[in-house]
Amino acid sequence: MRSMATAKTIVLTGASSGIGAIAAKELARAGWDVAVVGRNPERTKSVAASIGGTAFVADYDRLDDVRALAAELLATYPRIDVLANNAGGLVGKRADTADGHERTFQHNHLAPFLLTSLLLDRLTASNARVISTASVANRFGRVNLDDLDSRKRPYLGGWRAYGTSKLETILFIRELAKRSKLTAYSFHPGSVSTSFGLDSAAGRVAMRLASLTQISPEAGAVPLIQLASSADLDAPNGSYFDGLTPGGSTAGQASDAKLAAELWDATERALGDSKAA
């Protein structure tokens, strides 16, 4: 993969810890202007200060925070070369956000969809790339357009909602590539050794079982860095990568073009129907 020229701007969400913080550091070292987006004010400001980036704080539990974030980014950056939707996670106990949506669905799908939509004109003008962190867990997800907020299904410690949200990420990126003039990719970073999922009993069990095959956060950040910074990716627009390998294994629904379009429309309706924060 050939590296892009330096002095480009990347908006990197979920950059206050884990693979996001590592990617922010490495991209800044390579000369990128990094917008460090995180939920925790202290950690976000600390990462930004340490790499010479700019801190932006947003809590994805509140869609108004996402709207405010988009406004700040548009006021700060006349050009955005890459948007990396890396924020998200798994919520062990089902709960709704201030906007009335299940938290995992909002964190992993609604909020990045909204942010991308609000930045779309700027991204298009910049001929930008969008990359979104998905997961191999998409394979046990299932999108039900009549139950996007997981009200009718067993929650199972959040893992079903998580897998479904990552399947939605793949579908979103494929539909974004089709509907826009942008290049867009989703990826699985690998089974990264972090504190992810440890707020639920099911998550703690799963992480213990996975510990023998886990990789370091530094290794997990490599696909994010490369997909953001490589000028030429030998893969069709909209591809899902497993690490740096395009065409990763997905649930059957990930190839359903009709579902991708219907999910896009349903997401727009959900955002329009969201309660005020």
**Which residues are marked as active site?**
162
CA distance 242 to 119: 26
Which residues fall within 8 angstroms of residue 46, CB to CB, at 6 or more apart? 16
Q: Which two tokens stand for residue 170?
A: 């793949």
Q: How large is the C-alpha radius of gyration of the chain?
A: 17
> How many angstroms separate the CA atoms of 38 and 59, rounded?
8
Q: How many CB atoms lie within 10 A of CB 126?
A: 19
